[in-house]
Homo-oligomer: A and B are copies of this chain.
C-alpha cells in the first residue's frame, strides 16, 4: 500500500455507537482522509473490526481509551461522537492544541447557554468556546464554517426541519401569528444504541410511538434558534416526533400557514429550487413528486417535496433524510470538506442501495 502523504489525519472519539461507526465508515471511504485514531472506553484494546465484523478486513486499527497526548499526536481533526455533556470536557483541550473539532453532540449548538443548561441539565463550562463554535448547517453557515475550527454539528430532526423551512422564510411566505407544525417520524437508530426496553425489537416492531410531544423535545430550541436567526424574527415550531419501525431515516411533514397573498405552488416549487440550486445535498422534488424515506436511505441527501392545500392555505413540506448521514455523520464530513477547502461532495456522493 502506497503512503498517501497528503491525507488529513482524522480521529473518531466515541467510535462504537451508531454515529461513531458511521463516521468510521465514511472516513474509510473518503479519498482525502485517513482514520488514525478511534476511541471506545469499553472496547479499548480490541481491534475495531473484531468488535464490528461488518467493517472491511483492511481496517487494522484498535480501539483506544481516550488519552489527550496520544490523541493530539495522532490526528488533526477530531469528530466527537460522545454523549451530551462529555464533549464539553474534551473539546477545550483539543482546541488548545490547535485541533479542528467537529462535535456531534448538542454541547456547542446554543448561543444562549441558559437554554443549553435548562435542557441538558448541565452547566456549560466554556462560554468562550461556545461563542466560537459555528452551527454546522452548510446551507446557512457555509461562510462561517470555512474558517471555523469548532463545529456544532446539527441534530437530525433539526436538520430535516430547518432545511424544509429556509426558502419559505427567506421569501416571506409565512402567515403571521400562526403556528408551524412539524410532524416527524424517525427510525430507531435515532435513539442511539441505548439499552432500554423501548428500543427492543419486540417493542418497536409493529408499533408507532409518539414521544416528547409539543415543545418538549430537545431539538425544539435548536430549531427555533436557527430559524429565528435566519428569519430575523422569532419563529416557533410545534414539533411532534415519533418512533417508527425502521432502522434509519427521518420523514418530517411540515405544515406552514401561508400569508393570504401567497404565490402559487408552481412558484413556490420554483422558490425552493432556486434557493437550493447550488446546494450539493438538498434536492427539491419537481411539482407532484413527494419523496419517501427510501429515496434517501443511505445517502447524504435531504429531499424536499411540496404540496399546497389551498382550502386551508397551508403549504405541506415533506422533508426526508437519513438520520445518520445528512442528520449526523454525513453532515459532519460535509462540514470538514468545507473547512479543508476540498470539494464539498468528496466522499459523500455514493449511490444508495435498493431495495
Contact = CB atoms under 8 A, between A and B. Distances in A.
Nearest to A292: B209
Interface stretch (A72-80, A81-89, A112-120, A304-312): A304-312
A296 interface: yes
A246 B247 contact: no
B240 A316 contact: yes
A202 to B, nearest CB: 4
User: In terms of DSSP, what is the predominant structure of the interface of chain A?
Assistant: loop
Contacts of A193: 197, 200, 202
Interface string A186-209: 011100010111011111111111
Which of A56, A179, A200, A297: most chain B CB closer than 10 A? A200
Contact of A206 (B28, B214, B297, B316): B297
A111 interface: no
A56 B185 contact: no
Contacts of A110: none
A200 B197 contact: no
B201 A309 contact: no
Interface of A: 18, 21-22, 24-25, 28-29, 52-59, 178-179, 181, 183, 185, 187-189, 193, 195-197, 199-211, 213-215, 236, 238, 240, 242, 244-249, 251, 253, 255, 257, 283, 285, 289-299, 301, 303, 305, 307-309, 311-314, 316, 318, 320, 324, 349-355
A228 to B, nearest CB: 14
B314 A179 contact: yes
